[in-house]
Amino acid sequence: MNTVQWLSLLLFLAAGFMIYVAFLSYQQRHLPVARTMILIMIGAAWYASGYAFELLSRNLYEVKLSLQIEYIGIPFVTTLWLFQVIQFSGTASRYRKRLALALFVIPVGVFFSHLTNEWHHLFYEQYILNESTSFPLYKTVKGPWYQAHTLYNYFVLLCGFFLFIPMYWRSSRIVRKQIIVLTMGAAVPLLFNITLWFGMVVDLTPFGFAVSGIVYAWGILRFNLLRFTPLALTQVFDTIRDGVILLDYNDQIVNYNKAAEGVLPELTLTKHYPAYVGEVLSANPELIHSILDSHHGNERFSFFRSQADGNKNKYYQCSVSFIYDSGTPIGKMILFNDITELKENEARLRESANQLLELNSFKDKMFTVVAHDVRDPIAHLVSITELLGEELAADNNEHAELFGVLQGQVQNTFYLVENLLDWYRNQKGNVVFRPLGWNLQQVVRQALLLAESKAEMKHIVLREQIDEKFTVSADKEMLDLILRNLLSNAIKFTGIGGWIEIGATMDKDRIVVTIRDNGEGMDEETVEMLRRDDTFIKVPDLEQGAGHARFGLMLTREFIAIHGGNLWFDSVPRVGTTFFFTLLRSRGGMDVIDHWKEGEET
């Protein structure tokens, strides 16, 4: 193989390697920078392949055909590189499409100018056979379009380098390495192309692109060149709503986002960065002290900023985190999280809490008034109405029936006040639960004795069927209230001449108490209320007969729940209702029971 053939082979290998780099870039094709890299490598591959064919050409026709292959890529490679730099650096993001159209006007013109060169000869004026040597086979006389294309390529490369210079100084170490890789990818073909100006016969530019391919492949595999570009970093950095300041290892500010300017406007007063944080933020000595004293990372502190323009003050939660590169700390990141609204909400909540405390205090006073100044007069009124009612009934007074209605209203009001006070004490936590062992039969008989007078007025028979050995663990006051409410409810809805029966059965470690009547049954609203297991008690309307009963049943269920038991029922209209509730058995309460019996006998 002669020299020309070896060069052609190397060019084909270079083109193949460029296709491999394009394949590596294709794997990250979701990134615009990667898509541009694919086009660059494909264009360079056309250039190298066409030049290899040019070296192997044997006549002018083959030379011209080879040049057409080369110029599929030559006009666009350099401009594509500049566009990649623009994407990489985030330049003119709002006008990217219009900028691309402007940049590619001349390359497209070069492509069509070369394609139609035989008509106008503005690109190559003529082809001259090289008689002195066989390589190159033909020399070309360049036209104005070729000169314009050459100048444009150098201009494009310079623009890319100028874009990279300021970006390099303000970037982190890993981004700087990526910038170096992309710069070398353009600089090597440029240096190889410049050799033509010094009399080099062979165009080494395609070999320069092969070297660029090696550099790009190294950057992709070693530095994640196309995985997370500085544009993405910049967009993330600038769109963070919290203020962020980046410091290097020497506590110099190297970068900050727009939100940080809102937190610390003095950042904009410094024109050149990096700058020492102590000088830039000299108006905030406490903040500087907190930043410089952070030696372990992930440290948090508060920062308060008063507004000189009269606007509301700002509160921030600041955190300092170290930035690492291969395990070595290379700087710090200070994050300013605006918690002003949180502070304001906290103040409003504190004010609301104070108001609630005042309202709660007023509520407590109101219930104290109800307990002492309302309950006692109503209790006396109940006693008086009972006496008067008996006298009127004995005298067969014509107003006895009307007075009975009045007496019922007074009694309902009294029971309502009693239940309200019991419920309030339970909700407030003032109800003290002191379970002791009690003989269930004795407790039930005491409750029946208290309800006997009401039952006799309606000629209702009260029966008790409880084993005298049954003992329960219960709070006596609560158990009395439970029995009182259930018996009162049964008497209220049992007709004249009816019956009420209280029984109990053993169920493992519990005793199931039943209160059965042959009354009219519960109304649908009461049934629905108990099944919903409502926790909010609506104060009943005294004009409604079932209101007081529902309120008492709700309170009864709460007190049974305190005992660890359950309340359920079985009600059939015009047949009767049976309430069931459970209590724990008492295993060590016989001494208490005996003591209670002795107290009864004395």
Which pLDDT tens digit goes with each residue over 10-36?
Answer: 889 888 988 988 888 888 777 777 888
Poorest-pLDDT segment among 87-91, 136-140, 228-232, 330-334: 228-232
Residue with tokens 């033909």: 138
The answer on pLDDT for 168 being more than 90 is no
Binned at pLDDT 50, 70 and 90, residue 104 comes out as very high
pLDDT for 539: 43
| Nearest-5° Cα angle at 516, 514 to 522 | 115
In angstroms, the CA 169 to CA 164 distance is 9
User: 263-286: per-residue pLDDT in tens?
Assistant: 888 888 888 877 888 888 888 888
Residue of 231, 225, 233 lying closest to 24 (CA atoms): 225
585 vs 137, higher pLDDT? 585
Q: Please, what sign has the CA dihedral across residues 119, 123, 127, 128? A: positive
Structure tokens belonging to residue 367: 């219930």
Confidence label for 540 from pLDDT (cuts 50, 70 and 90): very low
In terms of pLDDT, which residue wins out, 288 or 249?
A: 288
What's CA 266's distance to the chain center, in Å? 33
Report the SS3 class of residue 166: helix
CB 55 within 8 A of CB 11: yes
27 vs 35: CA distance, rounded Å: 10
Q: What is the CA radius of gyration of the chain?
A: 48
Mean pLDDT, residues 296-314: 75
Q: What burial letters (b/e) apply to 350-371, b meaning 16+ CB within 10 Å?
A: eeeeeeeeeeeeeeeeebeeee
pLDDT over threshold 80, residue 45: yes
Query: CA–CA separation, 216 vs 228, rounded Å?
Result: 15
CA dist 109 and 101 (Å) reads: 12
pLDDT surpassing 70 at residue 187:
yes
Please tell me the distance from the alpha carbon of residue 536 to that of residue 519, in angstroms, as a whole number.
28
Tens digit of each residue's pLDDT (9 = 90 or more) over 170-184:
665 667 777 788 788
Lookup: tokens for 298: 């992930």
Mean residue pLDDT across the chain: 79
Quickly list H helices, 328-399.
Answer: 340-369, 375-394
CA angle 236, 238, 243 (to 5 degrees): 110
Q: For residues 189-202, give the mean pLDDT.
A: 77
Residue 361 confidence (pLDDT) above 80: no
Q: At what angle do helices 230-239 and 74-89 cross, to 10 degrees?
A: 30
* Cβ-proximal residues to 507 (8 Å cutoff; 6+ apart), any chain: 582
